[in-house]
Amino acid sequence: MGGRVVLLLLAALLLHRPASAQEPSPVSRRGPMPARDEWLLAQPMLTLPAVAPDALGAGRLELRLDGDWGSDFALVEGRPGGVPTLRYLVDGEHRSAALTVRRGMGTRFTLGLRVPVLWRGAGVLDGLIDTWHRWFRLPDAGRSLVPDGEFRIEGRDTLGRPLAWRGRPGTGLGNLELEGHGVLAGAADPAGWRLAAVARLSLPTATGTYAHAGTAAGAQLVAAWPLGRRADLYLGLGALTGTCSELAGISYDRTRGEGFLALEGRLTRGWSLIAQLDAATRLVTGIPAYPGTTVYLRVGSKFGLHPGWMLEAGITEGIKNQVASTDFGVLFALGRRF
């Protein structure tokens, strides 16, 4: 059933012909880094990426292939009565790839379809990150206490019982995601300020170890404000809710708030440098020591390649409550607009 839905939606996006297609006004800005939270416990869930408020344009088609590879580690201990006790441990890596198809259905509205492929496991980055910490004499957050090359999620629930986590390493399809993007204000000036609303719907089509993440929906307001001719400030605020309150033995908060703040500087006509903060409220409720917020720093570049190609690359780093976010990751994408 899920495969039929994907094929029907792809056909609708690729074959749609608006009655009065026209080329959009040129927009020099390239937008923030639309990364997701791929932390091992968040990977199957819907998150709201940072996006620009600009519409794709009537009749335009965009294809985008993106990837995310990161190391996830957390070791949180308590000392009741002075005795060290494990509260939770997350140790592993994630890799993801996704194909996104977006179609401009008018001058203000864009539809999109995203199909992700997810992987998690022990990985190979532990040695590299340990070397990085040693060279720069950085704290390792307890990595040296745990053997390299392992995949483990352990801890205790709100009643003090050991977590019965049933997740497994491996590869599978993630939930199919639908996007609706509508410009609310500022559409007349292609280089001016702009406001848009973005809605997302995650459908329960995941397979393998990622199955049973349920249905989720989210909405956000996103805006862009020019800072002169060569820079733009982006911000967004949104919320999401889902049907899944328990997955693989861990309890999740069904409702979350998310936001982002990003700065794009266009250093040359074809090169943008981006610095970005992504924040979210609590993800997990079934582990008492789990933090209530997370913040990521993402730094990257976008390269406009003629004609219509876009190359993106960047890094991601958890900077607030690192025991609930990816320790270090790399981002990359290749897109084409027609």
Asked whether the bond before 307 is cis by omega within 30 degrees of 0, the reply is: yes
Which residue range(s) make up the domain with 96?
2-19+29-337
Cβ-contact 9, 179 below 8 angstroms: no
pLDDT on residue 269: 87
Taking only the tens place, the pLDDT of each residue in 166-184 is: 999 999 999 999 999 999 9
At 247, give phi and psi (nearest 5°). -140, 125
Confidence of residue 306 (pLDDT cuts 50, 70, 90): confident
User: Whole-angstrom Cα distance, residue 132 to residue 115?
Assistant: 34
- More reliable by pLDDT, 134 or 195: 195
- What residues form DSSP beta bridges with 209? none
User: Whole-angstrom Cα distance, residue 306 to residue 298?
Assistant: 26
Give start and end residues of each alpha helix (H) in the chain: 2-15, 126-135
pLDDT on residue 176: 98
At 35, give phi and psi (nearest 5°). -80, 155
Domains contained in the chain, number: 1
pLDDT, mean over the chain: 89
Confidence of residue 24 (pLDDT cuts 50, 70, 90): very low
Taking only the tens place, the pLDDT of each residue in 184-194 is: 999 888 778 99
Residue 114 lies in a domain: yes
User: Whole-angstrom Cα distance, residue 178 to residue 200?
Assistant: 6
Residue 94 lies in a domain: yes
User: Whole-angstrom Cα distance, residue 204 to residue 326?
Assistant: 24
Cβ-contact 265, 276 below 8 angstroms: no
Q: Which residue type is seen at 135?
A: W
Which parts of 79-175 are beta strand (E)? 85-104, 109-121, 152-155, 170-173
Q: Does the predicted TM-score (pTM) go above 0.85? A: yes
Cβ-contact 237, 53 below 8 angstroms: no
> What tokens were used for 56?
């794709």
Residue 80 lies in a domain: yes
Residue 97 lies in a domain: yes
Residue 20 has pLDDT above 60, yes or no: no
User: Whole-angstrom Cα distance, residue 195 to residue 211?
Assistant: 35
Cβ-contact 43, 70 below 8 angstroms: no
Taking only the tens place, the pLDDT of each residue in 26-76 is: 347 899 999 999 999 999 999 999 999 999 999 999 999 999 999 999 999
Residue 24 lies in a domain: no
Residue 8 has pLDDT above 60, yes or no: no
CATH number at residue 95: 2.40.160.40
Residue 12 has pLDDT above 70, yes or no: no
Which burial class, exposed, middle or buried, applies to 23 when counting CB atoms under 10 A from its CB (0-12, 13-18, 19+)? exposed
pLDDT on residue 107: 92
Residue 283 lies in a domain: yes
Taking only the tens place, the pLDDT of each residue in 108-136 is: 999 999 999 999 999 898 888 777 777 87
Residue 57 lies in a domain: yes
Q: N- to C-terminal Cα distance for the chain?
A: 30
User: Whole-angstrom Cα distance, residue 295 to residue 331?
Assistant: 17
